[in-house]
Chains A and B, each alone.
Chain A
Amino acid sequence: MAVTEQHDKITRPKPPVARFAQLSAAGTAVGLPMVSFLFILALWSVVGASGVVSEAIFPAPWSVWSATVEMWQNGTLQKDLGVSLGRAGVGFAIGATLGVTMGLLTGRVPLVRTLLNPFLNLLRPIPAIALVPVAIVWFGIGEGSKYFVVSYTVFLTVWFNTHHGMQYVPETYLRAARSLGASRLREFLTVVLPAAAPHIFAGIRLGVALAFLSLVAAELSGASSGLGFRLQEARQYIRTDRMFSLLIILGILGAVADLVVHRIGRKLVHWEQG
């Protein structure tokens, strides 16, 4: 009997109304953004085709597309993508590692906190772009200055968020851990760290966004390759079509990176969301 029931459950088709509701829910999630995207693209095409605005100032979608194909075919796009992603990746890895470490220290060790927190508050308001001239003097226009600017920016943000995450570890968890005979080390690894993890991940997600931001800032002035450099070069030749192409690529890169980090965060901090 139980088997039949189960069998029943699996094969019985969903009532059409429920099915429709499900479909329309999925449609709303994917369809609506698609509609607005197509609308913007259409509007852009109309403006481009009408010739009201000069191509040199506001290129039409197809010009941007052909500029993209052109950069791909002459090989610069792949090279720039590789170089920029490499810089963002290395800078982010260094900055995030140092940031988490520092945040754990200032969050847990009162002496370190007292010594270093004034710096956190003083350094945070300095915009990443203001560091570029100093970075060039210190590290030249090669990879070093890019790594420095990106990792420094990521470091501060991740430090700040990790530090705050550590402040919000509920006292009850710590008391429970101590009453259950946990050593300081085990308490740190299996109670403090997971309790602070959602904040640490929020910081890392912000760090990813800032990595791209600061990278382009660094590449715009003083670089000989990379997406930011190519943007600057396009300005010199007034290749607005290339600029638009590069901007869109940067947008997509940032969005994909954010999505990846968000997904990883949800996996690792699985208990936070329902």
Chain B
Amino acid sequence: MEMDKGRVEVEDVVIRFGTRDSAVTALDRTNLVLEPGTFTALIGPSGCGKSTLMNAIAGFVQPAEGRITLDGAQIRGPSPDVGVIFQQYALFPWFTALGNIRFGLKQFGFSKREEIDRARAALDEVGLGPHAEKYPQQLSGGMKQRVAIARTFATGAKVLLMDEPFGALDAQTRIVMHELLLNVWRKHRATVLFVTHDVDEALLLADDVRVMSQAPGRLIRHYAMTQPRPRALSRSGSDLLEIREDILGLLRPTTEPLPEPAH
């Protein structure tokens, strides 16, 4: 197993949007290390810059200061080493489920036969083998994200960035997806960064939970989760509930108190 691959290092990164005079700092002096094969959840209030950090690691936006490296090499743009699962399902509607996975395999120049075989294997892995010829619009939200996950792992991505991937799914589907994601992740041992605003989701899935402050975003707390999976928040004697309360307290807005009732 290539345990020395997929190490992401974010060093003193500052990200600003807009032109010089009206620039808004979205991310302020952020440092973060994702160790190879670990699962990190990034949690914070909406608009805190967690998606910005993710986009920077993906290579979609460039930091104004600092640097981001993957296994020591600076990330200068999107690459298949860093796979991304978007909140809005980014499957191409003009390709079938199989075609979407083949899209990511084209770069390797496999023979058509091998390309199809690999794509099928990837679909089987997420339990969608029978739906290979369906178009995204014929699939449910959960199935679409499964195709997206299969598409990214099929390219052999070392790092998997997920931006609130299950935010639009119902509770039941989410549970299924959590299980599926953990299984696939264990098998491929990719480094996962999972952005969410759902504390429970972060606690159930991650090795590391990172909490981000209100904008401009800074990482303010780090929890190393040692509890064995599968985890359950309802289990008595679990310290998960304690951590949960702790994080919810951190996320509660303190800088801007609710307006006082009029006189």
- Chain B positions 147 through 178: 1 when the CB is less than 8 Å from some CB of chain A, otherwise 0: 00001100100000000000000000000000
Closest B residue to A271 using CB positions: B93
- Chain B positions 126 through 145: 1 when the CB is less than 8 Å from some CB of chain A, otherwise 0: 00000000011100000000
Task: Decide yes or no: A175 and B88 within 8 Å by CB, A182-B106, A271-B93 being known contacts.
Answer: no
B78 at the interface (CB under 8 A from A): yes
B110 at the interface (CB under 8 A from A): no
Q: Is B103 within 8 A of A194, CB to CB?
A: no
B84 at the interface (CB under 8 A from A): yes
Rounded to whole Å, the gap between the CB of A200 and the closest CB of chain B is: 13
Contact of B103 among A190, A271, A272 (CB under 8 A): A190
Q: Which of B58, B94, B151, B152 has the most CB of A within 10 A?
A: B94
Q: Is A179 within 8 A of B94, CB to CB?
A: no
CA distance A183 to B106 in the complex (A): 10
Q: Is B58 within 8 A of A181, CB to CB?
A: no
A186 at the interface (CB under 8 A from B): yes
Q: Within 8 Å CB of A197, what residues of B? A: 94
Closest B residue to A175 using CB positions: B60
Task: List 14 interface pairs A-B (beta carbons < 8 Å), by A numbering.
Answer: A175-B58, A175-B86, A176-B84, A176-B92, A179-B58, A179-B82, A180-B83, A180-B104, A180-B107, A180-B152, A180-B155, A194-B92, A271-B93, A272-B93
A114 at the interface (CB under 8 A from B): no
B80 at the interface (CB under 8 A from A): yes
Rounded to whole Å, the gap between the CB of B153 and the closest CB of chain A is: 12
Task: Decide yes or no: A173 and B79 within 8 Å by CB, A179-B58, A180-B104 being known contacts.
Answer: no
Q: Is B84 within 8 A of A175, CB to CB?
A: yes
9 closest Cβ pairs, A-B complex = A181-B80, A181-B107, A178-B78, A176-B90, A180-B104, A271-B93, A194-B94, A172-B90, A179-B78
CA distance A181 to B151 in the complex (A): 12
A249 at the interface (CB under 8 A from B): no
Rounded to whole Å, the gap between the CB of B8 and the closest CB of chain A is: 15
Q: Is B151 within 8 A of A180, CB to CB?
A: yes
Q: Within 8 Å CB of A190, what residues of B? A: 92, 103
Q: Is B135 within 8 A of A271, CB to CB?
A: yes
Given contacts A181-B107, A272-B93, 16 further A-B contacts (CB under 8 A): A172-B90, A175-B78, A176-B86, A177-B103, A178-B59, A178-B78, A179-B58, A179-B83, A179-B84, A180-B83, A181-B80, A181-B106, A181-B155, A183-B107, A271-B93, A271-B135
Is the contact region of chain A dominated by helix, strand, or loop, or is it mixed? helix
Contact of A191 among B59, B82, B92 (CB under 8 A): B92
Q: Is B106 within 8 A of A179, CB to CB?
A: no
Which residues of chain A from 175 to 223 have a CB within 8 Å of any chain B CB?
175-183, 186, 190-191, 194, 197
Contact of B90 among A175, A271, A274 (CB under 8 A): A175
CA distance A181 to B78 in the complex (A): 8
B253 at the interface (CB under 8 A from A): no
Rounded to whole Å, the gap between the CB of B154 and the closest CB of chain A is: 9
Q: Within 8 Å CB of A194, what residues of B? A: 92, 94
Q: Within 8 Å CB of A181, what residues of B? A: 79-80, 104, 106-107, 155
Closest A residue to B78 using CB positions: A178
Rounded to whole Å, the gap between the CB of A22 and the closest CB of chain B is: 24
Closest A residue to B89 using CB positions: A172
CA distance A197 to B94 in the complex (A): 10
Q: Within 8 Å CB of A180, what residues of B? A: 80, 83, 103-104, 107, 151-152, 155
CA distance A274 to B135 in the complex (A): 11
Q: Within 8 Å CB of B82, what residues of A? A: 179
B66 at the interface (CB under 8 A from A): no
Which residues of chain A from 246 to 274 have a CB within 8 Å of any chain B CB?
270-272, 274
Closest A residue to B103 using CB positions: A180
CA distance A190 to B105 in the complex (A): 14
Q: Which of A179, A181, A183 has the most CB of B within 10 A?
A: A179
Closest A residue to B157 using CB positions: A179
Q: Within 8 Å CB of B77, what residues of A? A: 178
Q: Within 8 Å CB of B80, what residues of A? A: 179-181
Which residues of chain B from 5 to 33 have a CB within 8 Å of any chain A CB?
none
Rounded to whole Å, the gap between the CB of B240 and the closest CB of chain A is: 33
CA distance A179 to B54 in the complex (A): 13
Closest A residue to B83 using CB positions: A179
- Chain A positions 40 through 68: 1 when the CB is less than 8 Å from some CB of chain B, otherwise 0: 00000000000000000000000000000
